[in-house]
Amino acid sequence: MSIHAPLPVRATPIFAECPLTPREVEVLIWVARGKSGRDIGVILGISVHTVDTLVRRILDRLDTASRTTAAVRAAQNGWLPPV
């Protein structure tokens, strides 16, 4: 799979109770796949600063302290598609 392959992201979060925006879900999918902020920026065509801001928002919304914990919590709640 190319790192530039688009992901199927729905216009709305996967479940109504998901506290994340569709863009945050998209970033978290790549975080869950182990991509760095720089890689995510390249893949999505956004700056590393924007990726960092989105990751901070994800951590705040999911009340987590790390990217890994956020990805695990979202996966456990069904907010991420299967990898």
Could you tell me if residue 39 is inside a domain?
A: yes
Average pLDDT, stretch 5-10?
A: 52
Residue range of the domain that includes 39: 30-76
Give the total number of structural domains in the chain.
Answer: 1
Average pLDDT over the chain, rounded to whole? 86
CATH number, domain of 67, equals 1.10.10.10
Tell me the percentage of the chain whose pLDDT exceeds 70: 80
pTM, two decimal places: 0.79
Q: How far apart are CA 75 and CA 83, in angstroms?
A: 10
pLDDT of the residue at 17: 85
Could you tell me if residue 48 is inside a domain?
A: yes
Question: Is residue 14 packed enough to be buried (19+ CB in 10 Å), middle (13-18) or exposed (0-12)?
Answer: middle
Could you tell me if residue 56 is inside a domain?
A: yes
